[in-house]
């Protein structure tokens, strides 16, 4: 259970200072497509799953609450953290406290989890690039809303930090908590979670709204275990090109589904399905 979201309707492109829950509820009356939505409408997902996710927002998970609390401490902005003095969530008292926090729109954390996110924030401030990016002159957690010209689809993005416009290249950071901040793990995470799609969405937003002539998307990964290592990563040009291609595919698919009011599943045909290649090879090698 979460707090009721105040109704906000946005019908003009621009930069908006909105609470995260209003952003996620989609303040565009006709509907808009975010980077998360783009990833959910494309294979291996499908439009039907996207529509269900949009119409039935999932309840917060422990992992979501942890990441949300870390963002709040790092960015200095959020709905508030409720620290629950319990070892875990198994007791009724802890469960009730968590539910009450969610009902107020706040983030519940166990006492030891709160200590961890405080230590993470302190470690992050020691990293030369991460600390600079997250404390740049500008505004935290800004909502960017614009309209895609080729399709007419409204788009939205929630940036961690929107720097003030200057003469230099705009650096757009996004903070992620992760099991590993090793470069190889980051490569897999970008592919698995569509962070290149997110990056292209950010860049498309600042271009469409005239916020920067030149911008770069950067990811700040931080491990959730001591010593809370940090890696700042820039997806390369190939990753960003693929992100751009996937966003275009998602926008066209979304536009078609919305126009037809039809959100298909994986396939509407009879699919001929072969066995996995590894299974066929295993079978062919077995003596008979």
Same domain, 118 and 173: no
Asked if residue 35 belongs to a domain, the reply is yes
Whether the per-residue pLDDT at 288 is higher than 90: the answer is no
Same domain, 65 and 49: no
Q: Which pLDDT belongs to residue 154?
A: 98
- Tell me the pLDDT band of 165, cut-offs 50, 70 and 90: confident
Total structural domains within the chain: 2
Which domain CATH number covers 44?
Answer: 3.90.320.10
Asked if residue 97 belongs to a domain, the reply is yes
Same domain, 76 and 117: yes
Note whether 232 and 132 are within 8 A (CB).
Answer: no
Asked if residue 285 belongs to a domain, the reply is no
Same domain, 238 and 96: no
Q: State the CB neighbour count (10 A cutoff) for residue 202.
A: 25
Q: Write down which residue in 124, 142, 170 finishes a domain.
A: 124
Higher pLDDT, 17 or 1: 17
Q: State the CB neighbour count (10 A cutoff) for residue 30.
A: 11
Q: Write down which residue in 102, 124, 146 finishes a domain.
A: 124
Q: Write down which residue in 109, 124, 139 finishes a domain.
A: 124
Whether the per-residue pLDDT at 200 is higher than 90: the answer is yes
Same domain, 103 and 246: no
- Tell me the pLDDT band of 137, cut-offs 50, 70 and 90: confident
What domain range includes position 171? 1-54+127-265
Mean of all residue pLDDT scores within the chain: 93
Q: Rg of the chain's alpha carbons, rounded to an integer?
A: 21
State pTM to two decimals.
Answer: 0.91
Q: Which pLDDT belongs to residue 119?
A: 96
| Residue 218: strand, helix, or coil | strand
Same domain, 92 and 134: no
Instruction: Name the pairing type of β-strands 14-16 and 81-84.
Output: unpaired
- Tell me the pLDDT band of 4, cut-offs 50, 70 and 90: very low
Token digits of residue 206: 């600042």
User: How far out from the chain centre does Cα 279 lie?
Assistant: 36
Token digits of residue 70: 């870390």
Helix ranges (DSSP H) in the chain: 20-24, 35-41, 47-55, 62-75, 92-103, 111-124, 128-134, 183-193, 195-208, 237-260, 277-285
Same domain, 146 and 70: no
- The residue-averaged pLDDT of 35-64 equals 95
Same domain, 157 and 232: yes
Which residues partner with 222 through β-bridges?
Answer: 177, 230
Same domain, 42 and 161: yes
Whether the per-residue pLDDT at 3 is higher than 80: the answer is no
Same domain, 29 and 169: yes
Note whether 23 and 156 are within 8 A (CB).
Answer: yes
Sign of the dihedral defined by the CA atoms of residues 156, 159, 163, 166, in that order: negative
| Residue 230: strand, helix, or coil | strand
Exposed/middle/buried for 93, CB within 10 Å: 0-12, 13-18, 19+?
Answer: exposed
- The residue-averaged pLDDT of 38-63 equals 95
CA dist 133 and 46 (Å) reads 35
Same domain, 224 and 93: no
- Tell me the pLDDT band of 167, cut-offs 50, 70 and 90: low
Same domain, 100 and 4: no
């Amino acid at each position: 259970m979460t707090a009721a979201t105040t109704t906000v309707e946005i019908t003009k492109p621009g930069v908006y200072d909105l609470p995260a829950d209003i952003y996620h509820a989609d303040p565009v009356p006709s509907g808009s497509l975010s980077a998360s939505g783009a990833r959910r409408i494309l294979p291996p997902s499908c439009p039907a799953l996207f529509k269900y996710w949009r119409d039935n927002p999932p309840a917060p998970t422990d992992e979501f609450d942890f990441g949300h609390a870390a963002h709040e401490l790092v960015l200095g902005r959020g709905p508030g953290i409720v620290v629950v003095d319990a070892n875990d969530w198994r007791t009724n008292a802890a469960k009730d406290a968590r539910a009450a926090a969610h009902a107020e729109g706040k983030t519940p954390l166990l006492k030891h989890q709160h200590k961890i996110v405080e230590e993470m924030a302190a470690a992050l401030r020691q990293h030369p690039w991460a600390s600079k990016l997250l404390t740049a002159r500008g505004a935290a957690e800004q909502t960017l809303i614009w309209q895609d010209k080729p399709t007419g689809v409204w788009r939205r993005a929630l940036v961690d930090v929107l720097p003030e416009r200057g003469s230099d290249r705009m650096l757009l950071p996004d903070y992620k908590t992760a099991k590993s901040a090793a470069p190889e793990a980051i490569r897999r995470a970008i592919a698995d979670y569509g962070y290149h799609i997110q990056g292209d969405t950010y860049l498309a937003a600042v271009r469409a709204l005239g916020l920067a002539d030149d911008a770069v998307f950067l990811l700040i990964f931080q491990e959730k275990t001591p010593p809370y290592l940090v890696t700042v990563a820039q997806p390369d040009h190939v990753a960003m090109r693929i992100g751009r291609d996937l966003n275009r595919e998602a926008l066209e698919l979304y536009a078609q589904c919305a126009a037809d009011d039809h959100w298909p599943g994986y396939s509407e045909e009879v699919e001929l399905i072969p066995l996995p290649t590894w299974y066929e090879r295993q079978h062919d090698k077995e003596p008979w």
